[in-house]
């Protein structure tokens, strides 16, 4: 049985994890709470169509359900969920890159302000920005997506990617520098 949003909203994440361990109905609350942001994250990181992203999410939630007993309350539930979804998404993404799969657009006019401010790239089109981000190594694209598109804190990114917060900061800085270099090359060699 799927519990209503009203019932689900009565519980914190920690309470839902405990209840889910003994009653699967409460697991539906976790799914309802995190389905949309996790699906959006999958689409951004994998470049997958919606149906494929939904399949990845379903596989991830099966793993989450199977491992609900291993959740450690010393990290945020959202970070733990993102970590599992991240692993599923990256596995798919790597397989699809080998097969030459398609991609979705990461950026829209509304979510590029961070990039335009930091990189002074107001003249760049969203298509150019998307192309530049997709050309980055996985480790740089991942931190950009998590930080700026998913609005995760350095601590959350650290938990999700299982890297130190200092490494998160370094990768973000390098990713921005690589994007800036890409834009400068494009301006010098149109």
**Averaged pLDDT score across all residues of the chain:** 82
* pLDDT tens sequence across 145-159: 888 888 899 999 999
Predicted local distance difference test score (pLDDT) of residue 144: 87
Give CA–CA dist 1/144, Å, rounded. Answer: 38
For the 107-190 domain, the top CATH level (class) is mainly alpha
Q: For residue 187, is pLDDT > 70?
A: no
User: Of all helices (H) and strands (E), which one includes residue 63?
Assistant: helix 50-66
Q: Both tokens of residue 108?
A: 């829209």
* pLDDT tens sequence across 171-185: 999 998 888 887 777
Q: Both tokens of residue 17?
A: 């994890």
* pLDDT tens sequence across 26-49: 999 999 999 999 998 888 877 778
Q: Which CATH number fits domain 1-104: 1.10.3720.10, 1.10.3210.10, 2.40.420.20, 1.10.1740.10?
A: 1.10.1740.10
**In Å, how far are 41, 47, 62, 106 from 51, measured between CA atoms?**
14, 12, 17, 17
Domain residues of the chain, as ranges?
1-104, 107-190
pTM, full prediction:
0.70
């Amino acid at each position: 049985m799927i519990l209503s949003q009203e019932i689900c909203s009565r519980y914190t994440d920690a309470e839902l994890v405990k209840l889910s361990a003994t009653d699967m109905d409460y697991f539906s609350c976790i799914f309802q709470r995190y389905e949309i942001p996790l699906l959006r994250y999958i689409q951004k990181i994998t470049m997958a169509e919606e149906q494929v992203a939904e399949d990845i999410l379903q596989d991830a939630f099966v793993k989450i359900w199977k491992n609900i007993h291993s959740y450690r309350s010393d990290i945020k539930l959202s970070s733990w969920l993102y970590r599992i979804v991240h692993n599923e998404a990256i596995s798919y993404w790597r397989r699809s890159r080998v097969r030459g799969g398609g991609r979705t657009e990461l950026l829209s006019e509304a979510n590029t302000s961070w990039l335009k401010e930091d990189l002074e790239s107001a003249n760049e089109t969203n298509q150019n920005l998307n192309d530049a981000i997709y050309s980055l190594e996985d480790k740089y694209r991942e931190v950009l997506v998590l930080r700026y598109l998913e609005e995760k804190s350095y601590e959350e990114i650290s938990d999700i990617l299982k890297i130190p917060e200092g490494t998160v900061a370094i990768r973000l800085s390098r990713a921005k520098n690589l994007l800036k270099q890409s834009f400068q090359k494009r301006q010098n060699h149109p």
